[in-house]
C-alpha cells in the first residue's frame, strides 16, 4: 500500500467474503476445486499484506453453514484444502506474529480437522500481531440463535436477570465476543449481499463489492477498498 495521507483511517476490523473460486476455475475450463486451491494461495498472501497495514482484526469467510449443500466432490476437495492449510498454518504467519482464531461450529468437521484447528489456535494464542479469524462452518443466523439459547438458559437457571439483557450481553455470547465490530466488509466476485456473514456485527459496517474473483484479488484491490472506505462518511445513525 502506498503511504496513506495522515487523515486516512485504517479499518480496525475488516471482514472479507471470499467469493468466486468456482467461477474463476470455470472461466479457465478447470474443475471447481482447482479454484479453491488458487483461492487458498490468495488467502495466505492477502492475510500477510493486510496484517502489515495496521489492521488489528481480519475475519475471512472460508466455509459457511450452507456450503455443505455443495456437490460432495467439491466439499471433499475443500476438506482436503483445509487439512493442508491447517498443517501449513502451524508455522504460517509466525513471522508476522499473526494470532489465528476459528469462529463457527467446528464440531461438524472430521476429527482430524478439529484437532488441527485446536493445535493451530494453541500455537498462535500468544502472538501479539493482527488477529485472523477464520470463519468455518459459520452462519450469522446460527450464531445469533446460539447466543439467544445461551441467554435463555442463563435466565432460566438464575445466572442472569431479564434486566441484564442488553446489546452488550448479546455481543458477549457471539463468536466475536471481545472484538470490535467490523468497520469494512469486502466481497469479491461481484455479488452485493452478506450471505449470512456477521449479520449482527455488520449493522454499521461499510460494504464494498468488487467484480474481481477471489483468486485474482490482489494488494492493489485491497488498497482500492480501503481508499473507498476513506471516502465514506460514517454516521452510525446520526446526522
- 19 classed as catalytic: yes
Helices 72-89 and 32-51, axial angle in degrees (round to 10): 30
Three-state secondary structure call for residue 234 = coil
Closest CA to 39 of 16, 55, 58, 56: 16
- Which is the catalytic residue, given 19, 181, 183, 221? 19
Query: If we measure between CA atoms, which residue out of 76, 130, 70, 140 comes closest to residue 105?
Result: 140
DSSP letter at 87 equals H
| Angle (deg, nearest 10), helices 32-51 and 219-229 | 60
Q: How many CB atoms lie within 10 A of CB 22?
A: 21
- Residue whose grid cell is 452488550: 168
Active-site option among 21, 67, 118, 211: 67
User: Is 67 a catalytic site residue?
Assistant: yes
Classified as helix, coil or strand, 186 is strand
Catalytic residues: 19, 67
Amino acid at each position: 500500500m502506498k503511504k496513506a495521507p495522515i487523515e486516512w483511517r485504517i479499518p480496525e476490523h475488516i471482514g472479507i467474503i471470499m467469493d468466486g473460486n468456482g467461477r474463476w476455475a470455470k472461466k479457465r475450463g478447470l474443475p471447481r476445486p482447482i479454484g479453491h486451491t488458487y483461492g487458498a494461495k490468495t488467502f495466505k498472501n492477502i492475510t500477510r499484506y493486510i496484517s502489515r497495514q495496521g489492521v488489528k482484526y481480519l475475519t475471512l469467510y472460508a466455509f459457511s453453514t450452507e456450503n455443505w449443500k455443495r456437490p460432495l466432490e467439491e466439499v471433499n476437495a475443500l476438506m482436503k484444502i483445509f487439512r493442508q492449510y491447517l498443517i501449513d498454518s502451524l508455522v504460517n504467519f509466525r513471522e508476522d506474529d499473526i494470532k489465528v482464531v476459528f469462529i463457527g461450529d467446528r464440531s461438524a468437521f472430521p476429527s482430524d480437522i478439529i484437532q488441527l484447528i485446536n493445535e493451530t489456535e494453541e500455537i498462535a494464542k500468544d502472538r501479539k500481531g493482527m488477529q485472523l479469524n477464520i470463519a468455518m462452518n459459520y452462519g450469522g443466523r446460527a450464531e445469533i440463535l446460539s447466543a439467544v439459547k445461551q441467554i435463555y438458559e442463563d435466565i432460566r437457571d438464575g445466572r442472569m436477570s431479564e434486566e441484564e439483557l442488553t446489546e452488550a450481553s448479546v455481543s458477549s455470547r457471539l463468536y466475536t465476543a471481545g472484538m470490535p465490530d467490523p468497520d469494512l466488509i469486502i466481497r469479491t466476485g461481484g455479488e452485493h449481499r452478506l450471505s449470512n456473514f456477521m449479520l449482527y456485527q455488520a449493522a454499521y459496517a461499510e460494504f464494498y463489492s468488487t467484480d474481481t474473483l477471489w483468486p485474482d484479488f490482489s494488494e492493489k484491490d485491497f488498497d482500492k477498498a480501503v481508499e473507498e472506505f476513506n471516502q465514506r462518511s460514517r454516521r452510525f445513525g446520526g446526522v
